[in-house]
Amino acid sequence: INPTELAPFMPTFLELLKEDDLAVKNVALLMVYSAVHHAPQLVVGIMKEQVLPQLYELAQLNMERKIDLGPFKHTVDDALPLRKAALSVFSTCLDKCPSSLDIPAFMPVLAKALADVEDIQLQSHQIVHTLCAQHPIPLVQAADSFVAALEKTVNKKKGQKTGTELERVYEWIKSGLRVMLAISKLDGIIGARKFCDFADRIKKSKPHAPFLAQVENE
């Protein structure tokens, strides 16, 4: 299909992001992802008005529910796939059409993603690395708001985990440390006192020394 022929229909398609049905929202997000990846001209002109507001909302949507399994209860977050998809769209926009984004407006969303479940955290870590290279100023300005989430990640407890589960915890910790180190190298970060205090504290921490050595030698 010629993108020019499809463009007039995009505003109508984007209304699907507002549907109550989570499956419809997810398909609409995949459509946006595909458009940004293959034909960004379809959404660039309507990004700030019609795409980003819904993207920010869906990236923070939480719909947890408890499932009673008899002896214990299991928590399911029905919105998790939507948050993953929304962050994937934003990450792709950084690559394909960065000028259409409002980076400062995304910082509160990113701060929340850094404190989300593991998969979302790892996605947000990759976004931080991209922003360090492309849009460092908004990151510096928001760095203090990242501290609580990053501190929790780099201090992740291993508990009774062994084998591959333990290795996964270690990789999670190292991912958080990479983000901390990347932000700590940005020009102007000295003005973010809370972040700098956090980074200095972790760099002097004996339990973190082996992880930091591995990360810095990569």
**Looking at residue 161, what is its pLDDT?**
76
Listing DSSP states for 14-36 in one string gives HGGGG-S-HHHHHHHHHHHHHHH
- pLDDT surpassing 80 at residue 6: yes
Rounded Cα–Cα distance for residues 128 and 47 (Å) = 21
pLDDT at 163 over 90: no
* Residue 166's pLDDT band (cuts 50, 70, 90): confident
d(CA 192, CA 182): 14
pLDDT surpasses 80 at 159? no
Residue 50: is its pLDDT beyond 70?
yes
Cβ(129)–Cβ(175) below 8 Å:
no
Tell me what pLDDT residue 1 has: 62
The average pLDDT across 168-174 equals 92
Length in residues, the chain = 218
Two structure tokens written together for 41: 């001209």
Chain-centroid distance, C-alpha 17: 19
Q: Which of 14-18, 84-88, 118-122, 161-165 shows the lowest mean pLDDT across its residues?
A: 161-165
Give the distance from CA 214 to its chain's centroid: 24
Render pLDDT for 11-40 as a digit per residue (tens, 0 to 9). Answer: 999 999 999 999 999 999 999 999 999 999
Q: Please give the DSSP secondary-structure letter assigned to residue 206.
A: T
For 66-95, what is the mean pLDDT?
A: 92
Q: What are phi and psi of 81, to 5 degrees?
A: -60, -30
Q: Tell me: pLDDT of 113 over 80.
A: yes
Q: Which of 138, 61, 212 is nearest to 130 (CA)?
A: 138
Q: Among the residues of the chain, which ranges form H helices?
A: 3-6, 10-14, 22-38, 52-58, 80-96, 103-113, 118-134, 136-142, 147-154, 163-184, 193-203, 209-216
Burial 118-144 (b: 16+ CB within 10 A, else e): eebbbbbbebbeebbeebbebbbebbb
Is the predicted pLDDT of residue 103 greater than 70, yes or no? yes
Mean pLDDT is lowest, of 9-23, 149-163, 187-201, for 149-163
